[in-house]
Amino acid sequence: MNTNQKAIEHLERNEYDAALALFKEALNESRNVQSLTNLAWIYYHEESDTETALELVKEAIILNPASHFPYNLLGEIYVALERWEDALNVLLNSIAIEPSKEAYNNLAIAIYHLGELDEASALFLKSAKPSDYTMYSHIKCLIEIGKATEAKCKLDAFSESDDDFVGEVHVAELYFELQCFSEAVSWFEKSWDIYYKTPDWVCRYIYSLIKTNLLNRAVEIANECIQLKINDIQEEHAVQCNEDWTESEKATYIKQLENDKQEYESIIYMISKGFVPPLKFSTSLSSSCYLYGCSRHNHPEYNG
C-alpha cells in the first residue's frame, strides 16, 4: 500500500490529521499530478486554504495532466475567486479531456458573469436536473434573453417530488420574473410556513399579491412580518452577551432586525409608488471529489 492509499484510508476513517500528514508525505516523495492535486483538494475543501490549494493545483496543471481532475478543481477555485476569464479557459480544457456536469455548471457561471447569456443558458442545461438549482439558473438566463415562452414551459414542469428540487420560493421568484403573478402567489403561499421569512422574498410575495388584487392578504403578510421582527428584537435585547456573542455583534444584529421591520412597514407604500422588489439571483458553484485513489467514489490513482 502506497502513501496515497494510506492517506485515503485514514480520511475514510475520519482520521483527518493522520490523512493530512500522509498527503503531505506523498507530495514530499514525488511532486506529481496525483500528490499535488490530492493535497490541493484537501487544502481547499478541508482546510479552507484557497491560496495554498491554488498554488498546488496550478503546479499540477503545469505537468499537463491527462485527467480532468486538476482542471475541474482549478476551475472551481477560479469561479469562487470570481476570476471568470481564468475559470473559462481552465474549464474548457477540462471538458476537452472529459466532460462533467461540474465543469459545465461552473463554466456556465463564468460565462454568465462575462455577459454571454445565450451560451451560459445552454451550458447550465447540459448539467441540469429537471427541477434543481442549475435548471433554475438556466431558466433565469432564458428570461434575461427574452425567451419567456420557453422559460415558462420549463418552469411549469418543476416538481416538488424531483430529486434536488430547488425549493418553492425559487420557483415563485421565476414566475415573478415572468410576471405570472398568480402562479407566483401560489408558490409563495406554499413557502409561507416552511421558509425563514426575509424581506428579499417576502416583499416580492407582497408585490405579487397586490398585482393579483389581493391587497388584504398583502397587508396581512406585511403586518405578520412586522410583528415577527418586533418579537425578534425584544428577544434579542434579552439575550446575555458572552465571548461567543459580543455586544457589538448583538447591536449589529438588532440593527438588521430593525431595518427589516422598517422595510416591511414601508413596502406597500413603496409598491404603490412603482417600486418593484428586485430578485437577488446568485449562481451556485458545483463541486465534487477530485481525489485520486478515493475508494468511496471509485477513483483510480493517476497514471500518466
Domain match, 198 and 247 both: yes
Mean pLDDT of the region 43-48: 96
What share of the chain has pLDDT > 90, as a percent? Answer: 98
Residue 236 located in a structural domain? yes
For 124-168, write each residue's pLDDT tens digit: 999 999 999 999 999 999 999 999 999 999 999 999 999 999 999
Mean pLDDT of the region 51-79: 98
pLDDT at 304 over 80: no
Q: Structural domain of residue 41, as residue ranges?
A: 1-100+288-304
Cell numbers standing for residue 187: 408558490
Q: What is the pLDDT of residue 238?
A: 92
Domain match, 192 and 256 both: yes
Domain match, 188 and 267 both: yes
Q: What is the pLDDT of residue 51?
A: 98
Residue 60 located in a structural domain? yes
Residue 262 located in a structural domain? yes
pLDDT band at residue 252 under the 50/70/90 scheme: very high
Number of domains observed in the structure of the chain? 2
Domain match, 202 and 294 both: no
Domain match, 12 and 82 both: yes
pLDDT at 73 over 90: yes
Domain match, 249 and 292 both: no
Residue 301 located in a structural domain? yes
Domain match, 212 and 296 both: no
For 81-107, write each residue's pLDDT tens digit: 999 999 999 999 999 999 999 999 999
Domain match, 254 and 293 both: no
pLDDT band at residue 1 under the 50/70/90 scheme: confident
Domain match, 266 and 301 both: no
For 196-213, write each residue's pLDDT tens digit: 999 999 999 999 999 999
For 224-250, write each residue's pLDDT tens digit: 999 999 999 999 999 999 988 999 999
Residue 163 located in a structural domain? no
DSSP string covering the chain? --HHHHHHHHHHTT-HHHHHHHHHHHHHH--SHHHHHHHHHHHHHTS--HHHHHHHHHHHHHT--SSSHHHHHHHHHHHHTT-HHHHHHHHHHHHHH---HHHHHHHHHHHHHTT-HHHHHHHHHHH--TTSHHHHHHHHHHHHTT-HHHHHHHHHT--TTSTT---HHHHHHHHHHTT-HHHHHHHHHHHTTTS---HHHHHHHHHHHHHTT-HHHHHHHHHHHHHHHHHHHHHHHHPPPBTTB-HHHHHHHHHHHHHHHHHHHHHHHHHHTT--PPP------------TT-TTTTPPPP--
Domain match, 17 and 89 both: yes
Cell numbers standing for residue 107: 463554466
For 254-286, write each residue's pLDDT tens digit: 999 999 999 999 999 999 999 999 999 999 999
Residue 212 located in a structural domain? yes
Domain match, 216 and 300 both: no
Domain match, 257 and 300 both: no
Residue 148 located in a structural domain? no
Q: What are phi and psi of 139, to 5 degrees?
A: -65, -40
Domain of 62, CATH number, reads 1.25.40.10
Residue 164 located in a structural domain? no
Q: pLDDT averaged over the chain?
A: 97
Q: What is the pLDDT of residue 303?
A: 85
Mean pLDDT of the region 11-35: 96
